[in-house]
Amino acid sequence: MSTGAKMPENKLKITPAKGRPMLQWVGKKPLDYVKGFPAQIVEVFDPTTRLSLRGEAEAISYNELKDNWHNLLFHGDNKDVLATLLELGFRGKIDLIYIDPPFKSGADYVRKVELRGLKNLGRIEEDEASILQQTMYFDIWNNDTYLQFMYERLMLLKELLNETGSIYVHIDHRVNSYIRLMLDEIFGAENFQREIIWRLGWVSGYKSTAKNWIRNHETILFYVKSKESFIFNKDYVPYPPDYERWGGRPKGKGLPIEDVWGVFPQEGVTSLQVVSYSSDLTDFRTQKPRGLLKRIIKASSNEDEIVLDCFIGSGTTAIAAQELNRRWIGCDINKGAIHLTSRELQKIISEQIKKKETNYHTFAIYKVNNYDLQLLRTEAIELAVQHIGIQRTRTDRFFDGTLGKNLVKIIDFNHPLTLLDLQLLKDELKKRPDEDRDITIVCLGKELAADSWIDEWNKKHPVNKIKIIELKTDKKYGSFLIHKPAEAKIKVLRSAQNDKLARIEIKNFISPTIVERLNIDNKLFKVKIPDFRSMIDTVLIDNNYDGKTFHIIYSDVPEKKDDLVKGEYEIEIQKSKIKVAVKIIDMLGEEVINVFEVS
């Protein structure tokens, strides 16, 4: 399809949305084109070393990948990642998409991170003192920003989906009606297939006290690229034991699966739609059951096809796809989520290899743009406040505080200052006609258009003048972003008895951020960490490090929260001089790499 406009160089064209019905919001803009980014390989899990990615620094194209596949996990904003996939030749190559985006739920999701093994060590009661809080992602968004955010992602996803492909969008009552209209607009109302009701489970406690029908479901909207050619593997569940129809007990495959799923109380009546829960729950709050994803993947894709989830969270979609022998691509903006996903997959693939169950042993983690700061966002905002000297006003629901005589608005560090942010500021000031203070906006970076908007605004307004502190470039204030990294003391030696083995011993590990966070959370007493390994989540080892990409040939990922990493390892190495790299990931997802030359 052509819009007639000439495409600027290097830009990847996006086909316009299909058309009516349409939803409007402030700041709605079509996504005419996007640009890809280089995707750097940061880690490879390649335990059988069947596929060699050694020497590769960047993601390779779909054409190079298709006959020599490894699965892909991207750390970055999915808008950038999806654009990068288009650039790599994935247009029309994805068979199934499932997404479970943030819901505008008004909650900020906090992943509770516990130190390992404190219970067993018996020195500290396992209580709140051991819990670090790491914000997984903020979910409090303005409606318009949210809608534009989803619009752009859905447009990109449609480009990636192939003609036989399907997309499932998991949402709740807050955004249901908006997203349905948006999907109609992008994919075409004729390609809507089903609205699946996902019943959440047993209701008890606070939730059941509402003076109302008890809310207990989410919605999964199922659309296809083309209603003529989509894949669907119809599935059945066995007839319940007492099931009869006017023909007595029917023969056949069983009852076809309907569009209401979940866990139901009346065993035998509606239990046919039950998706089994497995005991795979991590501490990720919005984790979906693996069984749910398996049902979707089995129905809407075949083995070896490509499944994509660009809000991967704790990795459920990738894990279900891996277990069902599909190829997969995952993405998340949050480093903690990438670690969690990677950690779980390493366990599963190692088991699959033992049982010879999979064709796909290898996955690589790529970084698209740099989102490391995301991890430390709560900390960064707190530090920004302290460093700049902002007086926090927690009672104001829009402004974050004051600086001298100015009101301060801190823009979330996960995006640059945009025109939408400025529009919101303008709307807010309109509601406060008596407000005569000037405004300081603190942001990490800014969109180009922001400057001229502000110039224009300042010309027109004798009061409420806007000033920006852009932390990325600010000489005075930018320096606080330098963060005290975690450090490890490790000893690596070739074994005296066997020159094909190296002995690795972690002697000490300290994460200033963890210690600081524990002390902030527990102002009354200083927390003592009895064993440095409590701070370590995972240890990864590469026995032939090339200086760029980390190839995981050994991973120590303790099964239970109360188990500590071993801390001492013996691994095979080449006889010649070689570089061994040890990566330690701490309980906040921060990582340290130490490299050793072993002669």
Q: Which residue has the tokens 């209580």?
A: 127
Q: Which of 316, 346, 440, 511 is close enough to bind ligand SAM by CB under 6 A?
A: 316
Residue 336 CA neighbour count, 13 Å, CB half: 22
Distance CA 528, CA 123 (A): 9
Q: Which residue has the tokens 């899990």?
A: 45
Contact between 322 and ligand SAM per CB under 6 A: no
Stretch that binds ligand SAM, among 34-42, 57-65, 285-293, 540-548 (CB under 6 A): 285-293
Q: Which residue has the tokens 């509402």?
A: 210
CB closer to ligand SAM, 300 vs 543:
300
Contact between 529 and ligand SAM per CB under 6 A: no
CB closer to ligand SAM, 137 vs 366:
137
Q: Which of 130, 193, 286, 301 is close enough to bind ligand SAM by CB under 6 A?
A: 286
CB closer to ligand SAM, 376 vs 439:
376
Q: How far is the CB of 472 from ligand SAM (least distance, A)?
A: 19
CB closer to ligand SAM, 273 vs 314:
314
Residues 427-456 within binding reach of ligand SAM (CB under 6 A): none
Q: What angle do CA 43, 44, 48 make, to 5 degrees?
A: 155
Instruction: Show the binding pattern over residues 265-284: x = contacts ligand SAM (CB under 6 A), - = does not.
Output: -------------------x
Q: How far is the CB of 223 from ligand SAM (least distance, A)?
A: 18
Phi and psi at 323, nearest 5°, equal -70, -25
CB closer to ligand SAM, 333 vs 514:
333
CB closer to ligand SAM, 369 vs 544:
369
Residues 131-150 within binding reach of ligand SAM (CB under 6 A): 136-137
> What DSSP element (H or E) covers 71?
strand 71-75
CB closer to ligand SAM, 151 vs 399:
151
Q: Which of 71, 78, 549, 555 is close enough to bind ligand SAM by CB under 6 A?
A: 78
Q: Which residue has the tokens 């069947």?
A: 50
Q: How far is the CB of 22 from ligand SAM (least distance, A)?
A: 23
Distance CA 428, CA 407 (A): 12
User: Is residue 246 within 8 Å of residue 208, measured between CB atoms?
Assistant: no
Stretch that binds ligand SAM, among 209-217, 256-264, 286-294, 445-453 (CB under 6 A): 286-294
Q: Which two tokens stand for residue 152?
A: 């752009």
User: Is residue 139 within 8 Å of residue 105, measured between CB atoms?
Assistant: yes
- Nearest CA-CA partner of 179 in 153, 156, 216, 161: 153
Q: Which two tokens stand for residue 78?
A: 């999915």
Residues 181-240 within binding reach of ligand SAM (CB under 6 A): none
Neighbour tally for 551: CB within 10 Å: 24
Contact between 320 and ligand SAM per CB under 6 A: no
User: Is residue 297 within 8 Å of residue 321, measured between CB atoms?
Assistant: yes
Q: Which residue has the tokens 């093994």?
A: 117
Q: How far is the CB of 458 from ligand SAM (least distance, A)?
A: 31
Q: Which of 288, 326, 343, 494 is close enough to bind ligand SAM by CB under 6 A?
A: 288
Closest CB to ligand SAM: residue number: 313
CB closer to ligand SAM, 65 vs 319:
319
Residue 191 has what DSSP assignment? G
- 256: burial class by Cβ within 10 Å (0-12, 13-18, 19+)? exposed
Distance CA 37, CA 369 (A): 7
Stretch that binds ligand SAM, among 221-229, 313-321, 385-393, 498-506 (CB under 6 A): 313-321
User: Is residue 502 within 8 Å of residue 571, measured between CB atoms?
Assistant: yes
Q: State yes or no: cis peptide before 21, omega within 30 of 0.
A: yes
> Strand 554-556 to strand 363-368: parallel, antiparallel, or no bridges (unpaired)?
unpaired
Q: Which of 297, 318, 324, 333 is close enough to bind ligand SAM by CB under 6 A?
A: 333
Q: How far is the CB of 324 from ligand SAM (least distance, A)?
A: 16
For the chain, the helix, strand and coil percentages under 3-state DSSP, each to the nearest 5? 25, 30, 45
Contact between 313 and ligand SAM per CB under 6 A: yes
CB closer to ligand SAM, 290 vs 533:
290
CA distances to 495, 541, 542 from 571, in Å = 10, 9, 9
Written as one letter, the residue type at 123 is R
Stretch that binds ligand SAM, among 84-92, 297-305, 329-337, 456-464 (CB under 6 A): 329-337
Q: How far is the CB of 253 from ligand SAM (least distance, A)?
A: 30
> What DSSP element (H or E) covers 291?
helix 290-300
CB closer to ligand SAM, 130 vs 341:
341
Contact between 564 and ligand SAM per CB under 6 A: no
Q: Which two tokens stand for residue 377?
A: 């966002």
- Nearest CA-CA partner of 199 in 264, 258, 256: 264
Contact between 287 and ligand SAM per CB under 6 A: yes
Contact between 307 and ligand SAM per CB under 6 A: no
Q: Which of 43, 71, 102, 543 is close enough to bind ligand SAM by CB under 6 A?
A: 102
Residues 378-417 within binding reach of ligand SAM (CB under 6 A): none
User: Is residue 345 within 8 Å of residue 323, measured between CB atoms?
Assistant: no
Residues lying near ligand SAM in the complex (CB under 6 A) = 77-78, 100, 102, 136-137, 284, 286-288, 310-311, 313-314, 316, 331-334, 337
